[in-house]
């Protein structure tokens, strides 16, 4: 997973707080994808971004969740007013283009208490 950097690795938030998850894609990769994984389950697509553009956000809840990938800096997945059901591992992946495989980060494990 070298190359895609996610931080923090672990994040604990109280109900009602905001969670900000960061993802720096591999050098040269301009496509970023966010996935959510619950224990014992596969990855659920959330959002696909290119620099300054959201390409597909069909997997992201309409409320409380937002994502951005600014011209400079990492991609951010923001969850406002977190609830216990938001507890999960959130993975970011990047790719150089629209074809080919993804390189994943090590994930951010969000725990809402």
Partner 1 sequence: TQLLEQSPQFLSIQEGENLTVYCNSSSVFSSLQWYRQEPGEGPVLLVTVVTGGEVKKLKRLTFQFGDARKDSSLHITAAQPGDTGLYLCAGRFGIGSDMRFGAGTRLTVKP
The residues of the shown chain that bind partner 1, judged by CB under 8 A, are 1, 4, 33, 35, 40-45, 48, 55-56, 91, 93, 98-107
Nearer to partner 1, 60 or 79 (CB): 60
SS3 string, the chain, reads CCCCEEECCEEEECCCCCEEEEEECCCCCCEEEEEEECCCCCEEEEEEEECCEEEECCCCCCCCEEEECCCCCCEEEEECCCCHHHCEEEEEEEECCCCCCCEECCCEEEEEC
The least distance separating partner 1 from the CB of residue 105, rounded to whole angstroms, comes to 5
Tokens standing for residue 11: 């994040």
CB of 20 to partner 1, least distance (A): 19
Smallest distance, partner 1 to C-beta of residue 38, A: 10
Give whichever of 20 and 102 is closer to partner 1, judged by the CB atom. 102
Give yes or no for a contact between 65 and 20, defined as CB atoms under 8 angstroms apart. Answer: no
Q: Which is nearer to partner 1, 17 or 104 (CB)?
A: 104
Closest distance to partner 1 from the beta carbon of 29 (Å): 13
Toward partner 1, which CB reaches closer, 17 or 66?
A: 66
């Amino acid at each position: 997973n070298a190359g895609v950097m996610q931080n923090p690795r672990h994040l604990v938030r109280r109900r009602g707080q905001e969670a900000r998850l960061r993802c720096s894609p591999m050098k040269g990769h301009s496509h970023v994808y966010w996935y959510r994984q619950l224990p014992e389950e596969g990855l659920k697509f959330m959002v696909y971004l290119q620099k300054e553009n959201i390409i597909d956000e069909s997997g992201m809840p309409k409320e409380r969740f937002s994502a951005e990938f600014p011209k400079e800096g990492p991609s951010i997945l923001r969850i406002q007013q977190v609830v216990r059901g938001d507890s999960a591992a959130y993975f970011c992946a990047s790719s150089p283009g629209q074809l080919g495989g993804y390189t994943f980060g090590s994930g951010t494990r969000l725990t809402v208490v």
